[in-house]
Structure 1
Amino acid sequence: MTERHPPQDCADMATLRQQIDQLDRELIARLAERASYIDRAIELKTENGWPARIPARVEEVVMNARTTAEATGLDPDLIETIWRQLVDWSIAREARVIREE
């Protein structure tokens, strides 16, 4: 893992890009971890006869992401767009296994 530097301590573009690339790797690792929880959700939904898409939960997840974005100073509309795509991907993955497609 590369040593983390705050943005203001990056003296040149090479260092800045290195930091961004490291953050990207960490984000991808966290998304892979999230996907493993989706795999478990598939098992539980299958056992309980639940559908892949549960609209109230979708909205809860998206609103949680918006709230977190607002609290950290990120654009909540951007985060909502990203999260809806992430949730849609997750539901499609669940549906393939649950055979709802």
Structure 2
Amino acid sequence: MTALISIDPRTPPEDCADMSQVREGVDALDRALVTLLAERQRYMEAAARIKPSRDVVHDDWRIEDVVAKVLAASEDAGLSPAIAEPVWRKLIAQCIAHEFGVWDRIRS
């Protein structure tokens, strides 16, 4: 089981007085994002193990469902959709490519 994400202490953005505080905050968030993305990758690896056919690795309906959910969550969180949508579409594309590789490796 994966532990809950812990984000290093940082100065809130609205309280940052200099660029070193901004950079420390960004670096702390990047470390947390890497941990979350690694866990997401493990779910894609589980999907590769579970899916019975290579044909179902890429699922257009699911891609659009994920993007719609992310856009709704981004609105609630105050994240610009101009950032959220392209980032998630790229993330999904890379995850699908990884899943194909895992699917092939498991069955070779």
| Gap runs ≥5 in structure 1 | none
Contact kept? 1:4, 1:19, Cα under 8 Å: yes
TM, length-normalised to structure 1: 0.84
The alignment of Structure 1 onto Structure 2 pairs a total of residues equal to: 97
Gaps of at least 5 residues in structure 2 are 1-6
- Match for 2:24 among 18, 26, 35? 18
Which residue in 1 is equivalent to 2:69?
Answer: 64
* Aligned-residue offset at 1:35: 0.5
1:77–1:9 CA distance, 2 compared to 1 (3 A) = closer
State the shift of 1:75 in Å.
Answer: 1.5
Alpha carbons 1:66, 1:77 under 8 Å: kept: no
Q: Distance in 1 between matches of 2:19 and 2:43?
A: 36
Identical columns (%): 38
1:51, 1:80 → 2: CA distance?
23
Does residue 37 of the first structure (1) align with residue 43 of the second (2)?
yes
TM-score, length basis structure 2 = 0.79
Out of 32, 53, 76, which is 2:81 matched to? 76
